[in-house]
Amino acid sequence: MNTGSAADLSRLLVQFWAWLQANLLSWAGVVQLAALLAALFISWLLWGLVRGRVRAWASRPVPAGLAALVLNAGRSVWPLLFVVCCGAVGAALDGLKRPHQLTDMAVSLTVAWVIIRLFTSLIESRFWARMVAAIVWSLAVLDAIGLLKPATAFLDSLAVTLGEARISLWGVLKAVVVLVVALEAAVLVVRFVESRANRSSEMSPTLRVLVVKGARFGLYALAGLIALSSMGVNLTSLAVVGGALGVGIGFGLQKIFSNLVSGVILLLDKSIKPGDIIEIGGNVGEIQTLSTRYALLRTLGGKEILVPNEDLISGQVINWTRTDRKLWVSVPVGVAYDADVPLAMRLMVEAARSVERILKDPAPSAHLTDFGDNSVNLAVGFWIKDPENGLMGLKTDVNLAIWERFLANKIEIPFPQRDIHVKSLPEGWGKKGDE
């Protein structure tokens, strides 16, 4: 601690001791403390009368984002009752021509505590909510006893210099409060933008994602700049940091930056969007989400794969549902050469129509694909509109339906067959007594 900091701390302690002597270590202070205890006891009795109703009101169903606010509002009833009792005690002391600085300070600090508690209940992180509440409440106490300026001067004297930037403990505390408040405000704005984008029928899903992510990134960056500015950092010096960051991206963060750019391109060109069924690297699945770094692919078997955006841009991707969610599926079947092929084709179409997931329009159709070594190769093709539900179970249902109809109509599905032609036998082969 340097000489200036020691002098500020000594001045702060001297002023605090003078305040204690004037307000607490005196007969008038003792009387006011007794009055505050009486006000606290009376407010506690009143709280006991209304506690059940208040808790029932606070426990009613509310939107998820307001649950903590309503709960803290219910908990603030007792402090507000204390404020009313303190006000009555202060009025009584004023009527008796007695000092009432402590009761007035108790009223202002309790009201400030309620306001701080209600505001911080909107902050999702409980750690940062408690941090902001502690900082703001401490400043309110210092202001009430008239020590805010010397306290901030002392905190500001505890500083370090990094280049041209001077960072003090007071600046850090201000930056923490400003950053948390700015981030929470940014979250509220982003939620509003997201709700409006989701309700807009003119925006495509990819454009909605791009708008929301752009708003989130921009507002978060703005919150960080505001926090740095409140701490006393010269924002023009960030140009040097930006240049260094660009060099880092060009070398160590090349892949990450490539994925970020690829993510933006995907959102703009709409070639792949959430809900599409794609095939990449031998995996087939539905795009669940598109983030700035990767796409979440849920395969038809239930596995979740994180696919880097760069692979979606530079690799070969088969998009099954880019323009239409209907998908053509073909099931091959082989029948014996002596079977009634037209009947088999009709039975295959009938079997396909019996499966619920297969569309009736366009209707299924059967085809003779080729003449194989062991069978006449047929195929039945059909359309479905829900490829995200998988194909294995669907093909199983179709094959079972075909199998049942082939058995009922004696249509044979042949085994592999081979004809062996013997050109000659060894001399004496097959004579009686040969082994």
Q: What CATH number is given to the structural domain containing 284?
A: 2.30.30.60
The reply to whether 150 and 10 lie within a common domain is: yes
Q: Which residue has the higher pLDDT, 29 or 271?
A: 271
Residue 333, pLDDT score: 93
Task: For residue 365, list its beta bridge partners.
Answer: 381
Q: Which residue has the tokens 């549902």?
A: 321
Nearest one of 268, 265, 263, 267 to 307, comparing CA atoms: 263
Q: Average pLDDT, whole number, for the chain? A: 77
pLDDT tens track for 246-278: 555 555 556 766 777 777 777 777 778 888 888
The reply to whether 63 and 84 lie within a common domain is: yes
The reply to whether 58 and 186 lie within a common domain is: no
- Spatial distance between the Cα atoms of 217 and 189, rounded to a whole number of angstroms: 12
* Residue 27 pLDDT > 70: no
Whether 430 is in a domain gets the answer no
pLDDT tens track for 162-186: 666 677 777 788 888 888 888 878 8
Residue 325, pLDDT score: 77
Residue 164, pLDDT score: 64
CATH number of the CATH domain containing 220: 1.10.287
* Residue 378 pLDDT > 80: yes
The reply to whether 153 and 13 lie within a common domain is: yes
pLDDT tens track for 221-249: 888 878 777 776 666 655 555 555 555 55
The reply to whether 117 and 248 lie within a common domain is: no
The reply to whether 113 and 66 lie within a common domain is: yes
- Spatial distance between the Cα atoms of 73 and 355, rounded to a whole number of angstroms: 57
Q: Residue 353: pLDDT band by 50, 70, 90 thresholds?
A: very high
CB 173 within 8 A of CB 155: yes
pLDDT tens track for 126-176: 777 777 778 777 777 777 777 677 777 777 777 777 666 677 777 788 888
Query: Is the whole model's pTM more than 0.95, yes or no?
Result: no
Whether 39 is in a domain gets the answer yes
- Spatial distance between the Cα atoms of 82 and 38, rounded to a whole number of angstroms: 10
Q: Residue 396: pLDDT band by 50, 70, 90 thresholds?
A: very high
The reply to whether 312 and 372 lie within a common domain is: no
The reply to whether 17 and 103 lie within a common domain is: yes
- Spatial distance between the Cα atoms of 364 and 382, rounded to a whole number of angstroms: 4
pLDDT tens track for 1-19: 555 556 656 666 666 666 6
Nearest one of 60, 79, 80 to 71, comparing CA atoms: 60
Q: Residue 207: pLDDT band by 50, 70, 90 thresholds?
A: low
Whether 424 is in a domain gets the answer no
The reply to whether 79 and 109 lie within a common domain is: yes
Domain boundary among 157, 188, 219: 157
pLDDT tens track for 42-85: 888 887 777 777 777 767 666 655 666 666 677 777 777 777 88
With helix as H, strand as E and coil as C, how does the chain read?
CCHHHHHHHHHHHHHHHHHHHHHCCCHHHHHHHHHHHHHHHHHHHHHHHHHHHHHHHHCCCCCHHHHHHHHHHHHCHHHHHHHHHHHHHHHHHHHCCCCCHHHHHHHHHHHHHHHHHHHHCCCCCHHHHHHHHHHHHHHHHHHHCCCHHHHHHHHHHCEEEECCEEEEHHHHHHHHHHHHHHHHHHHHHHHHHHHHHHHCCCCCHHHHHHHHHHHHHHHHHHHHHHHHHHCCCCHHHHHHHHHHHHHHHHHCCHHHHHHHHHHHHHHHHCCCCCCCEEEECCEEEEEEEECCCEEEEEECCCCEEEEEHHHHHHCCCEECCCCCCCEEEEEEEEECCCCCHHHHHHHHHHHHHCCCCCCCCCCCEEEEEEECCCCEEEEEEEEECCHHHCCHHHHHHHHHHHHHHHHHCCCCCCCCCCCCCCCCCCCCCCCCCCC
Whether 243 is in a domain gets the answer yes
Residue 108, pLDDT score: 76
Q: How many domains does the chain have?
A: 4
* Residue 304 pLDDT > 80: yes
Domain boundary among 265, 291, 319: 319
* Residue 382 pLDDT > 90: yes
Whether 165 is in a domain gets the answer no
Whether 101 is in a domain gets the answer yes
Residue 381, pLDDT score: 93
Q: Residue 115: pLDDT band by 50, 70, 90 thresholds?
A: confident
Q: Which residue has the higher pLDDT, 421 or 244?
A: 421
CATH number of the CATH domain containing 390: 3.30.70.100
Whether 281 is in a domain gets the answer yes
The reply to whether 332 and 311 lie within a common domain is: no
Whether 414 is in a domain gets the answer no
* Residue 343 pLDDT > 90: yes
Q: Which residue has the tokens 């060894």?
A: 426
The reply to whether 248 and 203 lie within a common domain is: yes
Q: Residue 288: pLDDT band by 50, 70, 90 thresholds?
A: confident
The reply to whether 350 and 301 lie within a common domain is: no
User: Which domain does 179 fall in, by range?
Assistant: 172-256
| Distances from the Cα of 320 to the Cα of 124, 147, 423, angstroms | 40, 69, 54
